[in-house]
Amino acid sequence: MSDIEALKQEKQELIDKMIAMQKQFIEHEHEHGVSGKDYWGSKDGLLANYRQDYMDMANRVVDIAHQIVGSSRN
């Protein structure tokens, strides 16, 4: 597998994981509701690291996309 193919595969795996996280969040929100305090400051359960984990994955997806086409974020 080429480096580009490996990057594309990693990008797709991250996107799939992010979609699964979004579905879990929506289910949790429908069942329990989510307050701003829960979303921004929860220390346990689904929301404990949700925002940071999601943001890290989203940033990695953007970085990979730039690597694939040979550009940069700046």
pLDDT value at residue 73: 81
Look up the pTM and report it: 0.86
The pLDDT tens digits for 15-63 are: 999 999 999 999 999 999 999 888 888 888 889 999 999 999 999 999 9
Domain residue ranges in the chain: 3-69
- Which residue type does 35 have? S
- Length of the chain as a residue count: 74
pLDDT value at residue 38: 86
pLDDT value at residue 45: 87
Residue whose entry in the numeric block shows the structure tokens 């940033």: 59
pLDDT value at residue 37: 87
Residues 6+ positions from 49 with CB-CB distance below 8 Å: none
